[in-house]
Amino acid sequence: MLKIKLTLGQQLFFTSDTHYNHKNICRGVTNWRCQDGSIPIDQTRDFKTLELMNDKIVDNINKTVGQDDILIHLGDWSFGGFDSIKEFRDRIICKNVHLILGNHDHHIENNRGGIQEIFSSVHQYVVLEVTRPSLPVNTVSKYEFVLMHYPITSWHDMNKGRFHLFGHVHLPSHQKIMDGRSMDVGCDGNNLTPYSLSEIVRTLSGRPVQANKLPSDHHEERLKEEQ
């Protein structure tokens, strides 16, 4: 279990699937095409250049997440080669970045050149316990999450109200909330901006305790194309 104890004024944020420096997800330079030759609008970001996309991702993080706050990234950190990993990390002002490995984070998973050291921690899957100061003074609020890059239908202590956060599927904003206490925290569903702990708790707390019924996944379409 990863335990995070927030100090007074410190905030916790979540994001996923930034795909920093990923050429094909940038509409102005992508090589992806639909069967009719058109660019897949729902799978690309509306930027003319890769530099503009990268700058927007970094700017949104730095405007939202403070230097002493904590950011948990749920995978698919960057593209464009090994050097992009540190380049992206160096541009983020937050000193505390935890990473849940995604399917494209091969160099980080293999710890090439000790690259995991640039993160506060690196995990495949984690149960997260968060405590933060609350009113009245000298009391705390506690929240528990199951974090994984991939969405799962059922998770440990779901019946006790534990939340599940994931990425991978790049769901649009109107589909990011699942049937129960679970959501896609990928940046594509939030204008390339991280979610705050308060926002997630407010969104999910009133939802029923039930398993997920997962929506269709763009990875299925690519498998069909490959076959």
Domain spans of the chain, in order of start = 2-226
- The DSSP output letter for 38 is -
What tokens does 121 get?
């921690």
What pLDDT shows up at residue 140? 86
**pLDDT for the residue 216:** 67
> Quick one: pLDDT at residue 64?
98
Taking residue 91's Cβ as centre, other Cβ atoms within 10 Å add up to: 15
Per-residue pLDDT of the chain (227 residues; tens, 9 = 90+): 999 999 999 999 999 999 999 999 999 999 999 999 999 999 999 999 999 999 999 999 999 999 999 999 999 999 999 999 999 999 999 999 999 999 999 999 999 999 999 999 999 999 999 999 987 767 789 999 999 999 999 999 999 999 999 999 999 999 999 989 999 999 999 999 999 999 999 999 989 998 887 666 666 665 444 43
Best CA proximity match to 98, nearest among 203, 9, 16, 7: 16
**What is the per-residue pLDDT for 213?**
78
- Decide if 128 contacts 151 (C-beta within 8 A): no
d(CA 132, CA 9): 9
Q: Which CATH number does 2-226 carry?
A: 3.60.21.10
**What's the pLDDT score for residue 215?**
64
| Number of residues in the chain | 227
Q: How far is CA 151 from CA 21, 35, 80, 86, 190, in A?
A: 24, 28, 25, 27, 17
> CA–CA separation, 131 vs 142, rounded Å?
4
Strands 12-15 and 195-196, by their bridges, are: antiparallel
Could you tell me the pTM of the whole model?
0.92
Alpha carbon distance 37, 30 (integer Å): 12
- DSSP letter string over 61-129? HHHHS-TTSEEEE-S--B-SSTHHHHHHHHH---SEEEEE--TT-HHHHTTGGGGGGGSSEEESEEEEE
Q: Which two structure tokens, joined as six digits, stand for 54?
A: 């990268």
